[in-house]
Chains A and B, each alone.
Chain A
């Protein structure tokens, strides 16, 4: 399977708290999407801002897949059954309006067309055997974790969520986390929901209490650095999905790089090809201006 370019009809665009959710009819992308992968979107006719915008996949509904329906067998684990759009093959992304490109996306209406590349990048690797997993999300970075949680549950993994944001309105879809997870811990910077503080505050205790064997995280880089540090201190492997500025999404522009090990002693890896999911312990955090991980025994 290889990523494809699709001209996608907008099925729905709705507000989710402080964010926008965009659902696209994209059977070629939805049919192969895995949690942690992303789509690279281009909308509107205005080419004065010419580049695509990358978004991790929040949900993917396999084309023609519904319980008992045609094509209902042979689907990889992780596909959300049923629901509107299940027969069409859809992908959903969540975004915040931060500039001209996301502003254009926020103004899309049903039946508008979006040019999409995907699914791109390396997905989260699921545990080989049923394992307790802690999923840590920050802001709209939580988006791919629900897709991931669905796959992990089908693999009989225990899933515990820690979700944080600046304030209550910027927590993405906490109800969904409550439904998918065995537990949900919320944190906000201002204390307007859950406990006041950072996602890393409760993480150490949660890892110890659940005996988790795997951490997955997605969110801003300072959060990913901190989560990697806590996981390393607890001796738990940690996969992080990074969000680097990106132009092409296909590995040819070399702008989305970040320093990883091994190298000489580090090398610049393209997050669109080798990532966006990396082993948190392989990222040279100090070179990015964050404290280095504690060495594990």
Chain B
């Protein structure tokens, strides 16, 4: 039995069900010396906005138990520089590109989607509705089902490229948000973004991040992410989900695939091991072989929900 790692994500064939998560792989070209970009399931780029963003002051990151907080503030060169430089590089390298978009209004998201609709190198678009490191909580569209749905509607009108909506677990009813964005046309979901957190330097008696609060990532949040994927997969069967949150090993990835994710994305794990995406995929191949299946798509059927 030969394992075939490839999966279909919203009509796009991925070589493996393991992507590099947005904000945790730069714009991809930084990693060309560490991995073969063409061999990855895909590269979700750092979020791109219409205009360049400078990001937050430092310190931007703080290590926390089994994870880290970050408040980078969406530093990026803007969509035009991205298309002229990083996107071209990724296309030449043969990478499967998921372009992550971030805007301050539905209209900005729409203009970004329209701009990238003309870029054949973009296989999928991920709408970042849930970055916690923004100036106003109102920019975290995924905290409100109606606001999140409006962004997705505008993006879908602007592009024929399949659209993933990236949501946050920092809500009371994630399923309601997931349903709103899929009803609005999202082809799939990415679950979850970082969780809003805070850490205090007790010696200096001040926040450890310049932005005061930041997004918590790493293995510390994995149980929250697995729970979110499970809940949404149960409520919305058939909606493709990219599971992300604290994956550093193939076993971590298998948790997400078993509870219903179509693919996973490795985020903070890349900061520790620059070859994490490759090694997680290699390990999954062995996991599938041991489980006696030939495709990641067969894993949910093996999951026994009752203890």
Contact = CB atoms under 8 A, between A and B. Distances in A.
Contact of B270 (A48, A252, A258): A252
A255 interface: yes
B306 interface: no
B293 interface: no
B58 A251 contact: no
B166 interface: no
Contacts of B54: 267-268
A192 interface: no
Interface in A235-249: 244-248
Q: Is the interface of B mostly helix, strand, loop or mixed?
A: loop
Nearest to A47: B66
Given A50-B218, A255-B61, A248 B270 contact: yes
Interface size class on chain A is: 20 to 34
Nearest to B26: A252
B275 interface: yes
Contact of A252 (B25, B55, B62, B218): B25
Contacts of B218: 50
A51 interface: yes
Contacts of B31: 250, 252
B59 interface: yes
Given A5-B275, A252-B26, A268-B55, A48 B65 contact: yes
Given A2-B33, A254-B75, A117 B271 contact: no
A3 interface: yes
B55 A50 contact: no
Nearest to A53: B63
A252 B24 contact: yes
Q: Considering residues A5, A42, A253, A258, which has the most beta carbons from chain B within 10 angstroms of its beta carbon? A: A253
Interface string A251-268: 111111110000010011
Contacts of B23: 253-254
B58 A252 contact: no
Given A252-B26, A267-B54, A273-B30, A52 B63 contact: no
Contact of A50 (B24, B59, B268): B268
Interface in B39-94: 46, 52, 54-55, 58-63, 65-68, 70, 72, 75
A34 to B, nearest CB: 16
B63 A50 contact: yes
A256 B30 CA distance: 15
Interface residues of B, number: 34
A255 B58 CA distance: 7
Contacts of B58: 244-245, 255-258
Nearest to B57: A287
B303 interface: no
B274 interface: yes
A117 B274 contact: yes
B272 interface: yes
A268 B75 contact: yes
B75 A257 contact: yes
A253 B62 CA distance: 12
Nearest to A258: B58
Given A5-B274, A117-B274, A252-B24, A247 B68 contact: yes
A49 B46 contact: no
Nearest to B34: A250
Given A252-B270, A253-B271, A258-B58, A49 B72 contact: no
A247 B275 CA distance: 15
A50 B219 CA distance: 9
B293 to A, nearest CB: 29
Nearest to B67: A50
Contacts of B66: 47-48, 50
A177 to B, nearest CB: 31
A139 to B, nearest CB: 18
Nearest to A101: B63
Contacts of A251: 26, 30
A119 to B, nearest CB: 12
Nearest to B74: A254
Contacts of A256: 58
Contacts of B30: 250-252, 273
Contact of B55 (A2, A52, A254): A254
A273 B26 CA distance: 12
Q: Which of B55, B75, B271, B275 has the most CB of A within 10 A?
A: B271
A101 B272 CA distance: 13
A116 to B, nearest CB: 12
Interface in A97-132: 101, 117
B98 to A, nearest CB: 15
Given A245-B60, A255-B60, 18 more contacts: A5-B34, A49-B65, A50-B66, A50-B272, A51-B68, A117-B274, A244-B58, A245-B59, A248-B271, A250-B30, A250-B34, A252-B25, A254-B75, A255-B59, A255-B61, A255-B70, A255-B72, A268-B75
Interface of B: 23-26, 30-31, 33-34, 46, 52, 54-55, 58-63, 65-68, 70, 72, 75, 218-219, 268, 270-275
16 contacts: A5-B274, A50-B219, A247-B68, A247-B70, A251-B30, A252-B25, A252-B30, A252-B270, A253-B61, A253-B70, A253-B72, A253-B271, A254-B60, A255-B60, A255-B70, A258-B58
**Top-3 shortest CB links A-B:** A255-B61, A251-B30, A252-B26
